[in-house]
Amino acid sequence: MGFNKKYIKKSGILENISNLETYLKADMFIMDYWSSRFCNDLNPKERKLREKFNEDTMCVSSPSTITKHKYYEKFNSRSEMLINLMTNPQWTDILISIDKFKIPVKEDERGRMDILKEKAIKHIIDYYECGS
């Protein structure tokens, strides 16, 4: 049986974000800086909590109700947030990103899901790029 190693780059992760579990199967990884930071931040427990959180907040339109949810404080993984924003974006993902990661929002961007989603995605990608 052979030893399975895989080279992981940022572009590969972003291209395979909807199928990461399959993409990240190997005995050993050789990663670029961005990919290493992204993978170290993955949190499968947070992924499971998000499913319950999304069920609980499905019909909620008040940001204050969402931020007071019992699971809200447990969402800290930028990697998990990026996966959600790129595969199944919801207003809750945008709210969490803006609130937790202190993403500035201009007045004319408020209520614009498409713009805010892209802004949150860019923020997370840039975070792993520059390390802050």
Instruction: Report the distance separating Cα 90 and Cα 23, nearest Å.
Output: 24
pTM above 0.85, yes or no: yes
Residues 3-18: pLDDT tens digits? Answer: 778 899 999 999 999 9
Confidence of residue 132 (pLDDT cuts 50, 70, 90): low
Neighbour-count burial for 30-68, b at 16+ CB within 10 Å, e otherwise? ebeebbebbbebbbeebeebbeebeeebeeeeeeeebee
Predicted pLDDT at 65 = 85
Residues 30-59: pLDDT tens digits? Answer: 999 999 999 999 998 998 898 899 888 888
Reference 26, options 7, 5, 8; nearest CA is 5
Q: Give the three-class secondary structure for 87.
A: helix
**Average pLDDT value for the chain:** 90
What are the CA-CA distances from residue 28 to residues 7, 20, 64, 104 (Å)?
9, 15, 43, 38
pLDDT at 62 over 90: no
